[in-house]
Structure 1
């Protein structure tokens, strides 16, 4: 078996990688969103915020792709770590392919001088046993939920919005697409950092570090990946302070698919139902702005009860539980 790095310009290789990953998802969790070859290549070019991911294909001697290793390498923060995903084609499991990819990832981490590997897998007994066999310790549970907009009762959304407006009369909303105005950038750095208050459970992780450059890099990566970014921001009327926001990215390749990115409220402004306000306002906006949109996926720590309670009012249902592990080298 040979393991080689995959280039985003290798269209055939990216197609193989996506086909391999999709074959596994069809067996392990059929409802999880499958990537496209184009979207996969863009993650290798731009990542989430211009931190491109690495990908490696494991091939048999005849060239058959049997395994896929994806590696995220943080440069903004947590620079002692890498995070990996491992996929093995269902027809080739139980033959040591996954173990070889984990070993490869450990060598890669050591070459970078990093001492911690994070690993996530679908909550299945065999996947959990694989992780523990390789020395990983479970640290958290992430839950993928999906909002079905075709079955969403917009009367419920409107009532949630109206109730939130009544509880937040000291605030007003701003709606934006595309890059942030320059005059909001510094304040948005502070507001975005509020996401660090979300539960990390037992994960050994530093807070995310934000800067104007990183926010601009996020915008660039989303734009280059052909995603439209929608933001709803709550601002305190008396001071102009940015108090809360929510962000959804809509694919242009598949305009029926959206992904919930950040939702956060500044600590000093909590208790005014701003989370419910910005999320319900976003839905009412997208109903008009993105008529083809039918689903939105979100990810939360299973312990994030406050955000989950809002999502449950908005027709989200669980698609998958992902077990998050870490290992010290």
Structure 2
């Protein structure tokens, strides 16, 4: 089997990579929207916040049999590499996934990292592959989807009013997609609240957010053609940023929205800011992105508070993923 590393500018290999990924989605997770060459190119060029994964395509006998990604971050968690191994359904159980995984693990060792992580859908194939290669299940993430045609605007408005009555000391601020330079430090401090989200048994450290990373996140999404809508809760008396929620809308497929972080700073919890932010975002999107038909979100299965808010707003489970990790030390 030949494993080829490539870049985002190699349109032919990107298209073949997407074909393998979509074959896997159709087979393993038919509820997922298919990848597009445009979206894959943007992600491979810009990543989530300026640190894109390294992509690989595995071929055997003239066939594209697997696709992989190797991703490391340099802001934090310098001990770990995150791996993706997708084997085309037509070429499984022939050792291709094992060979690709071993190549990615070798690359991780060469980079001086001491841990590898990855995820897979909650099925026997993922669990058995992980166990066979010494990975342990460390967390469960759940994908939920909100169909906006089924969400009653009157319900959203009522829930928003109820939350606003409890959170009278706070105001909602609709932020520009690009944060002004002088506001980046306080934005980074507020964004760090996401570190309180459950990580279950994963061996990972808190993420480090600074002004540079906030800007990199914004620029990466702009480069990918994604409009960011960031709604912030601000304490009226002190001006402190108390929490946020962010939705990304891909201009290639503007009927689809993706939920990014929703978090509330610890010192400001207990005022129903999570519900205030989520309902406030739906009201905002109703005005500026009326074409959105659905929004996807992910939560740790143990994040009961955010799950309660999401289900109140009509989010329903579409998929369940398992996170695995293995020490190389």
- Output the TM-score relative to the length of structure 1: 0.98
Q: How does 1:152-231 map to 2 (within 5 A)?
A: 152-231=151-230
Instruction: Determine if the alignment matches structure 1 residue 32 to structure 2 residue 32.
Output: yes
Q: 2:112 is paired with a residue of what secondary structure?
A: coil
Q: How does 1:17-56 map to 2 (within 5 A)?
A: 17-56=17-56
Shift of 1:147: 0.9
User: 1:249·1:259 contact (CA, 8 Å) conserved in 2?
Assistant: yes
Partner residue in 2 for 1:110? 109
Partner residue in 2 for 1:327? 326
Q: For the residues of structure 1 that align with 2:176 and 2:295, how far apart are their CA atoms?
A: 17
Q: How does 1:32-181 map to 2 (within 5 A)?
A: 32-62=32-62, 64-181=63-180
Q: For the residues of structure 2 that align with 1:197 and 1:209, how far apart are their CA atoms?
A: 13
Shift of 1:51: 0.3
Partner residue in 1 for 2:282? 283
Q: For the residues of structure 1 that align with 2:12 and 2:314, how far apart are their CA atoms?
A: 38
Shift of 1:6: 2.2
What whole-Å deviation, never above 9, does each CA across 1:222-272 have from its counterpart, x for those lacking one?
A: 000000000111111111011111011100011011111111101110000
Q: For the residues of structure 1 that align with 2:17 and 2:154, how far apart are their CA atoms?
A: 42
Q: For the residues of structure 2 that align with 1:111 and 1:151, how far apart are their CA atoms?
A: 50
Q: For the residues of structure 2 that align with 1:262 and 1:88, how far apart are their CA atoms?
A: 30
Q: For the residues of structure 2 that align with 1:10 and 1:183, how far apart are their CA atoms?
A: 38
Shift of 1:34: 2.2
Q: For the residues of structure 2 that align with 1:149 and 1:177, how far apart are their CA atoms?
A: 24
Q: 2:159 is paired with a residue of what secondary structure?
A: helix
Size of the aligned set, in residue pairs, is: 328
Q: For the residues of structure 1 that align with 2:118 and 2:244, how far apart are their CA atoms?
A: 29
Structure 1 residue runs of 4+, over 3 Å off? none
Q: 2:67 is paired with a residue of what secondary structure?
A: strand
Tell me how large the CA RMSD over aligned residues is. 0.9
Q: For the residues of structure 2 that align with 1:151 and 1:19, how far apart are their CA atoms?
A: 32
Instruction: Determine if the alignment matches structure 1 residue 256 to structure 2 residue 223.
Output: no
Shift of 1:164: 0.7
Gap runs ≥5 in structure 2: none
Q: For the residues of structure 1 that align with 2:85 and 2:149, how far apart are their CA atoms?
A: 33
Partner residue in 1 for 2:242? 243
Q: For the residues of structure 2 that align with 1:150 and 1:183, how far apart are their CA atoms?
A: 39
Q: Which moved more, 1:32-41 or 1:297-306?
A: 32-41
